[in-house]
Amino acid sequence: MKKYILISSLIVSILLFSCNNFKSETSITSDGISKPKPPKAVGPPRVLFIGNSHMEYFVSGPTLFQELCNANNQNINVQQLITIGVSLNKVYFTNKTEADQNFSNIDKDGNYYDYVIIQESTPIALTNLSKFRDNLKLFAEKIHKNSPDAAIYVYQNMSPLSYANSEYNNYYTELRKNTILAAAFIKNAGVLRVGDAVKDAYEGKSGYKYLTGNKDNLRDGKNTLHFINDGGFLQAVLIYSTIFDKIPIIPKKLLLSTGTGDNDNMRKQEVEKAVTNTKALEEIAFSNR
């Protein structure tokens, strides 16, 4: 997979942002997370992924999800609008021609899209709740024109810091709160609990160990941490579990990353060799569906 160099200033600005400046509007717990109801589909349901490099970089969330669906005889159509390193409004304007075409298509069951997974950039999701809401509204209004009953999942970004950083939990908490608050303003929307699942994995739930030597098996990167094979597998199983309410049967091989270097890419690999603890990650994903 071709990799792009991201401008680090946005993430650097996050790291310099003092947690003391965070302002919570209300106290939100897991009890406040609702689950959207999907429409009844005639034919294969369509799933649209909208976001940036947290969905696709070293590994591809939409591709892994499609592979899990194929292996489990789930006939589903996966589409995506993904642009590396930008906020949701820029994802739209970068892909405006394709997006407008997609949002003008119709289906005989009344909903062109059945599920939409939408991910904001970390800086906005963390520090600008108003912009987060506006950007979600931008897409929601367009989605609802041809898919009025689509189930929308707002992606809960993971803490941008290393788990070893003492501020990890502060950023996790703020991102979680803002995602719940932003999703509450969108019709038939819930939260895709990626941040919760990643935190559980770091904390060793179900016996998972994220470190091999000094190597983080979930994420890698210098200026921005992106999912590698364990993290990408966790995310894909979480998406599947969230939509279908069950753990998928895992195929012998999936399209996973050969590494994080410039000459590495995605290719079919044996899951048990490329992912360190599939069973634990499956359990963590299912518990956060």
pLDDT in tens, 128-159: 999 999 999 999 999 999 999 999 999 999 99
Q: What is the pTM of this model?
A: 0.89
Q: What is the DSSP letter of 56?
A: B
pLDDT in tens, 253-283: 999 999 999 888 999 999 999 999 999 999 9
Which amino acid makes up residue 279?
Answer: K
Domains, the chain: 43-287 (3.40.50.1110)
Distance CA 84, CA 288 (A): 26
Contact assessment for residue 188 and residue 36, using Cβ atoms and an 8 Å cutoff: yes
Q: Around Cβ 124, how many Cβ atoms within 10 Å?
A: 21
pLDDT in tens, 82-119: 999 999 999 999 999 999 999 999 999 999 999 999 99
pLDDT in tens, 205-243: 999 999 999 999 999 998 899 999 999 999 999 999 999
pLDDT in tens, 1-60: 434 434 333 443 444 343 434 433 333 334 468 899 999 999 999 999 999 999 999 999
